Structure 1
Amino acid sequence: MDIEKLSATDRVFFDIEGGALMMHIGALMVFEGGGLVSPDGSLDAATLTRLLEAGVSQVPRFRQVVREVAGLGAVWVDDERFRIEHHVSHTAVPHPGDDAQLMRLMGRIFSQPLDRRHPLWEASLVEGLSGGRFAILFKLHHAMVDGVAGIGLLASVFRTEPGDLSLSPAAWSPRHAPNTLQIATALASDSARSVAHALHDLRGSLGHGAQAKDIAGGLVHTLRDGLRPASPSSINPAEVGPHRTYTSTRLDLARAKEARKALGGTLNDVALAVVTGALRRYLARRGDPVEAMKDFRALVPVDLRPRMGEDGVGNHISLVLVHLPLSEPDARARFEAVHRACEHLKHDSHEIEGAAFIERVGDLGGPNVVTAVFRIASMLRAFNVTITNVPGPQVPIYVGRSRMTEIHAVVPLFTHQGVGVAIVSYDGGMYVGLYADPDAVPDVEALAADVQQSFEDLCAAAGHGR
Structure 2
Amino acid sequence: MFIYGETSKSKMHVAGLLPFTPPADAPSDYLRRMIDDARRQEIQAPWNRKLAYPRLQFSPLHSWVVDEDFDFDYHVRRSALASPGDERELGILVSRLHSNPLDLTRPPWELHVIEALEGGRFALYAKVHHALVDGYSAMRTLARSLSTDPQTRDPRLFFNFPPPSRERRAGAAGDAASSNPVTATLRALAGVGSAVTGGVGSAVDLTSALVNTQIRRDGDNVKISGSVSAPHSILNARISRNRRFATQQYDFDRLKKLSSQHGSTINDVALAILGGGLRKFLLDFDKLPERSLVAFLPVNVRPKGDEGGGNAVGAILAPMGSDIEDPVERLDVITAATRAAKAQLQSMSPTAILAYSAALLAPAGGQIAGAVTGVQPPWPHTFNLCVSNVPGPREPLYFNGSRLEATYPVSIPIHGMALNITLQSYADTVNFGFVGCRDRLPHLQRLAVYTGEALSDLEAASEA
Q: TM-score, normalised by structure 2?
A: 0.74
Instruction: Give the match for residue 297 of structure 1.
Output: 294
Q: What's the CA shift for 1:309? A: 7.6
Structure 2 gap segments, 5+ residues each: 164-190, 216-224
Aligned-partner Cα distance in 2 for 1:298–1:326:
11
Q: What's the CA shift for 1:171? A: 9.2
Q: What's the CA shift for 1:126? A: 0.9
Instruction: Give the match for residue 31 of structure 2.
Output: 44
Q: Is the 8 A contact 2:203 2:352 kept in 1?
A: no
Instruction: Give the match for residue 403 of structure 1.
Output: 403
Aligned-partner Cα distance in 2 for 1:277–1:265:
16
- Comparing 116-125 with 274-283, which one deviates more in the overlay? 116-125
Instruction: Give the match for residue 338 of structure 2.
Output: 342
Distance verdict in 2 for CA 1:236–1:132, change over 3 Å: same
* SS in structure 1 at match of 2:7: coil
Which structure shows the higher helix fraction?
1
Q: Is the 8 A contact 2:234 2:287 kept in 1?
A: yes
Amino acid at match of 1:110: H
Instruction: Give the match for residue 16 of structure 1.
Output: 5
Instruction: Give the match for residue 184 of structure 2.
Output: none
Identical counterparts, % of pairs: 25
Q: For 1:246-261, list aligned pairs within 5 A.
A: 246-261=245-260
Instruction: Give the match for residue 192 of structure 1.
Output: none
Q: Is the 8 A contact 2:214 2:229 kept in 1?
A: no
Q: Alpha-carbon deviations, 1:366-387, whole Å to 9, x = none?
A: xx99955864798544321121
Distance verdict in 2 for CA 1:370–1:145, change over 3 Å: farther
Aligned-partner Cα distance in 1 for 2:230–2:77:
41
Q: Is the 8 A contact 2:233 2:287 kept in 1?
A: yes
Distance verdict in 2 for CA 1:327–1:359, change over 3 Å: closer
Q: What's the CA shift for 1:222? A: 7.4
Q: For 1:172-191, list aligned pairs within 5 A.
A: none
Among 89, 111, 132, the alignment partner of 1:101 is 89
Q: Alpha-carbon deviations, 1:1-41, whole Å to 9, x = none?
A: xxxxxxxxxx3x433221211122211111112279645xx
Q: What's the CA shift for 1:136? A: 0.5
* SS in structure 1 at match of 2:389: strand
Q: For 1:279-318, list aligned pairs within 5 A.
A: 279-290=278-289, 292-294=290-292, 296-303=293-300, 318=314
Q: What's the CA shift for 1:282? A: 1.5
Distance verdict in 2 for CA 1:259–1:152, change over 3 Å: farther
Distance verdict in 2 for CA 1:288–1:94, change over 3 Å: closer
Q: For 1:81-96, list aligned pairs within 5 A.
A: 81-96=69-84
Instruction: Give the match for residue 186 of structure 1.
Output: none
2:244 is equivalent to residue 245 of structure 1: yes
Q: Is the 8 A contact 2:141 2:161 kept in 1?
A: no
Distance verdict in 2 for CA 1:153–1:317, change over 3 Å: farther
Instruction: Give the match for residue 329 of structure 2.
Output: 333
Aligned-partner Cα distance in 2 for 1:87–1:79:
12
Aligned-partner Cα distance in 1 for 2:319–2:194:
35
Distance verdict in 2 for CA 1:198–1:321, change over 3 Å: closer
Instruction: Give the match for residue 206 of structure 2.
Output: 215
Q: Alpha-carbon deviations, 1:94-144, whole Å to 9, x = none?
A: 355222111110000000112223333211001122211111111122344
Aligned-partner Cα distance in 2 for 1:252–1:81:
45
Q: Is the 8 A contact 1:385 1:420 kept in 2?
A: yes
Aligned pairs, number: 411
Amino acid at match of 1:257: K
Q: What's the CA shift for 1:232? A: 1.9
2:32 is equivalent to residue 32 of structure 1: no
Aligned-partner Cα distance in 2 for 1:438–1:170:
34
Q: Is the 8 A contact 2:316 2:342 kept in 1?
A: no
Among 106, 116, 127, the alignment partner of 1:139 is 127
Among 116, 127, 143, the alignment partner of 1:128 is 116
Q: Is the 8 A contact 2:423 2:433 kept in 1?
A: yes
Q: Alpha-carbon deviations, 1:141-161, whole Å to 9, x = none?
A: 234455555433321232222
Aligned-partner Cα distance in 2 for 1:376–1:111:
20
The CA RMSD measured in Å over matched residues stands at 4.2
Amino acid at match of 2:299: V
Q: What's the CA shift for 1:451? A: 0.3
Q: Alpha-carbon deviations, 1:60-116, whole Å to 9, x = none?
A: 443444568968555555555545434211111135522211111000000011222
Q: For 1:373-384, list aligned pairs within 5 A.
A: 375=369, 379=377, 380-384=380-384
Instruction: Give the match for residue 184 of structure 1.
Output: none
Q: Is the 8 A contact 2:368 2:414 kept in 1?
A: no
Aligned-partner Cα distance in 2 for 1:408–1:72:
35
Aligned-partner Cα distance in 2 for 1:125–1:199:
44
Q: Alpha-carbon deviations, 1:342-379, whole Å to 9, x = none?
A: 22222216598546137899xxxxxx999558647985
Distance verdict in 2 for CA 1:144–1:172, change over 3 Å: closer
Instruction: Give the match for residue 356 of structure 1.
Output: 354
Q: Is the 8 A contact 1:260 1:270 kept in 2?
A: yes
* SS in structure 2 at match of 1:406: coil
Q: What's the CA shift for 1:304? A: 6.9
Q: Is the 8 A contact 2:231 2:291 kept in 1?
A: yes
Q: Is the 8 A contact 1:16 1:371 kept in 2?
A: no
Amino acid at match of 1:459: E
Aligned-partner Cα distance in 2 for 1:111–1:20:
9
Q: What's the CA shift for 1:324? A: 2.7
Q: Is the 8 A contact 1:218 1:353 kept in 2?
A: no
Aligned-partner Cα distance in 2 for 1:269–1:148:
24
Amino acid at match of 2:343: H
Instruction: Give the match for residue 183 of structure 2.
Output: none
* SS in structure 1 at match of 2:445: helix
Q: Is the 8 A contact 2:192 2:354 kept in 1?
A: no
Q: Is the 8 A contact 2:102 2:129 kept in 1?
A: yes
Aligned-partner Cα distance in 2 for 1:308–1:356:
20
Distance verdict in 2 for CA 1:48–1:357, change over 3 Å: same
Q: What's the CA shift for 1:210? A: 3.9
Amino acid at match of 2:253: A
Distance verdict in 2 for CA 1:415–1:355, change over 3 Å: farther
